[in-house]
Chains A and B, each alone.
Chain A
């Protein structure tokens, strides 16, 4: 294909957009909205999988020991629990260590715990991980029966329910994203149809003087892709801003939530949204061109 043909396609596509500026803007905004929602879905998903991974690694049973348990008894107790078949690991967390962890988890606000270091109210504990998440409650029961154990906590059921809930929400967001993408497809398809209708005389003449089908179609395909990419770029810009604000806020106020690093998010999210816009635009115009006999 010749360079001059491409110049022709681009200028035709540009003119079409200009001539139907309102419809073009409608297509771009429709693409923007659906891509934005889709992008938000991806951003939330990325973070949820990261948080899920981190939390899953933390699911275990915390067994707090009576203050009467002497430190000399600890190693024997530890090996006793380690010997249980359903247990994969046992970590001893001294009360001093527990306080230190708490301070770290709360980042800048962690210094609030400093006054406690002289009179630490926390308890020594074992952090016990089960080989299977299903065994967690059995392990918890068994730990509770030990004389040295004062109290047992574990979050497994809560965590599992939370994950189910988050997964449902993700599915719903994906569904909404897909519906909106279909809507965008229709809007772009319509914009191209109007363009084809507006240029029906030109198209007829092109056919009569021997322009190939490809030559006639390319400007419309380009137009559709431009509209889609336009929506993609706008939503990418909005997502970029939103995500950076979100990540900064989370890091400042909820440092224990491990948000996905911004550069990684940018690298997946922004090109993805723009590429999706391109695909939507391409198929939107493709459907239009197929329906109208060019």
Chain B
């Protein structure tokens, strides 16, 4: 589903954000992207939705070579990608329902079943009862659920999360994680950048670790820190 091939990103003059990354993510996988701040996690995610293009190497998503897409095609790529952010990025003047429906309306997919699709997404994330509330009337965890509902309402192939639990307390974060796992079970590939050792260790998925732009570990069912280091500490 996602394929990074020898991806290097250099910001002028000499900041190397990503250094020769090779990574394959299959359809339906759940991948944690871990590493310190500035390790290149966000840059890697931004390459998928073409907010950035590699300085060298290339990225494929669902068979499309992302850096080669014309500007005109970018929106159509993004309609297959759901994005969840640390700061939720909801629209305060719109209700929960309208925040989610917004994603369909602005892609001109305002079909007759808009209401059904929005409610379906809200049910998957468990906040269908709050459809008519405004974001500020919700808790942080509930707001992030709205963010997830918006990300999945277009039935994306890939869900990208940039620290989606970063602003949440551990219990709420675990709830959000369960929701993301549910979304993943419904068939969506999930690539999630996180700082949280607790979450990575609790949910035991594939872990890809970046350090100073290099991929230093790719482990199925891994933990936040490399096993050797963990063992050393014990």
Residues on A facing B (Cβ under 8 Å): 1-2, 4-5, 8, 201-202, 204-213, 215-216
Contacts and interface: CB of A to CB of B under 8 A. Distances in A.
Interface string B59-90: 00000000000011001111101010000010
A205 B110 contact: no
Contacts of A1: 108
Given A209-B79, A210-B75, A210-B107, A202 B150 contact: no
B149 to A, nearest CB: 12
B75 A201 contact: no
5 A-B pairs with the lowest CB-CB distances in the bound complex, closest first: A210-B78, A210-B79, A211-B106, A209-B103, A4-B110
A215 B75 CA distance: 10
A211 B91 contact: no
Contacts of B89: 201, 204-205, 208
A8 B79 CA distance: 19
Contacts of B110: 2, 4-5, 8
17 contacts: A2-B110, A4-B105, A201-B89, A202-B102, A205-B91, A205-B103, A208-B83, A208-B89, A209-B83, A209-B102, A209-B106, A210-B75, A210-B78, A210-B106, A212-B72, A213-B75, A215-B106
A74 B76 CA distance: 91
A4 B112 CA distance: 11
Contacts of B78: 207-210
Contact of B150 (A209, A213, A216): A209
Contacts of A208: 49, 78, 83, 89
Contacts of B81: 210
A294 to B, nearest CB: 12
A18 to B, nearest CB: 12
Most-contacted residue by chain B among A5, A205, A208 (CB, 10 A): A208
Nearest to B160: A208
B161 to A, nearest CB: 13
Q: Is the interface of A mostly helix, strand, loop or mixed?
A: helix
Contacts of A210: 75-79, 81, 106-107, 154
A98 B149 CA distance: 91
Given A202-B91, A205-B91, A210-B154, A8 B107 contact: no
A8 B83 CA distance: 23
A206 B105 CA distance: 10
Nearest to B49: A208
B24 to A, nearest CB: 24
Interface string B154-191: 10000000000000000000000000000000000000
A2 B108 contact: yes
Given A209-B150, A210-B77, A212-B75, A8 B106 contact: yes
Contact of B107 (A201, A211, A213): A211
A2 B106 CA distance: 11
B83 A215 contact: no
A2 B111 CA distance: 11
B108 A215 contact: yes
B91 A5 contact: no
A187 to B, nearest CB: 26
B208 to A, nearest CB: 23
A215 B107 CA distance: 8
A197 to B, nearest CB: 15
A205 B102 contact: yes
Contacts of B83: 208-209
Nearest to A8: B105
Nearest to A7: B110
Contacts of A215: 106-108
Contacts of B102: 202, 205-206, 209
